[in-house]
Amino acid sequence: MKVLVIDVGGSHVKLLATNQQPRGFDSGPDLVPTDLVARVRERTADWTYDVISLGIPTPIGPEGPEAEPGNLSDGWIGFDFEAAFGKPVRVVNDAAMQALGAYDGGRMLFLGLGTGLGSALVTDRVVIPLELGCLPYDGDETMAQRVGRRGLARHGEQEWLKSVHEVVRVLREAMAVDYVTLGGGNAARIDPLPDGARQGGNEDAFTGGFRLWEERVVPHDLPPEATWRVVR
């Protein structure tokens, strides 16, 4: 079975199919689902794939997106991706998909440093999407605003790095995890890494997208013999 992975971020959409090389295009506040489908079809016209894994930066329920993505346009709630693509599609939160790809045991917190702050917890092969970016940081800023793209531009790199270290420390202790994986487009800026953290990368989203099909990732209400479970 050949899988197409679509990782939708606030700034870029990244694509990878089985036995292919990554491709992508810009996203942004004007991106709607119909545009996404059309542009994916255009960029992958010469690829062959049987199923699709789709990561979107918004809470995902059993019926798909439960809220409009904050950094994209509207129209995602209730959109029928399977009908639009004409293929089986598994839709998950984008941070959960990256976390699924980055996990290699124990209790892990994933933090995606990109346009905002993606987050997910993985423990005992159960993936739990989180919305930790909504937590207050200081003054009028949330954690997502402080360590996301806006915070980097507003405060400068050195102050932003201090904030990332503080956010990692607080969340690692609060979630009682064994380690934190830092992913997203700005993870490569973190040097040195905070205590208890390691660097992931956007390639983790591709790994997670393949695992959605190759290792039987299923909704949390299915039997426990399933290899992976994603809470929705």
189 residue type, one letter: R
Q: pLDDT for 66-94, tens place per residue?
A: 999 988 999 999 999 999 999 999 999 99
Instruction: Starting at the earlier edge strand, list the strands of the sheet with 107-113.
Output: 197-199, 179-183, 107-113, 117-123, 126-130, 228-230, 217-219
Q: pLDDT for 176-209, tens place per residue?
A: 999 999 998 899 999 999 999 999 987 899 999 9
pTM of this prediction? 0.87
pLDDT surpasses 80 at 228? no
Kindly list the structural domains of the chain, giving each domain's residue range(s) and its CATH number in brackets, ordered by start: 3-92 (3.30.420.40), 97-203 (3.30.420.40)
Residue with tokens 């999407």: 129
Residue 194's alpha-carbon distances to 84, 89, 112, 130, 152, in angstroms, are: 42, 36, 14, 21, 17
**CB-based contact 111:168 (threshold 8 Å):** yes
Dist. CA 17–CA 146, nearest whole Å? 34
- DSSP for 140-159? TEEHHHHHSHHHHHHH-HHH
Per-residue confidence band for 174, with pLDDT thresholds at 50, 70 and 90: very high
pLDDT surpasses 70 at 135? yes
Residue 217 confidence (pLDDT):
52
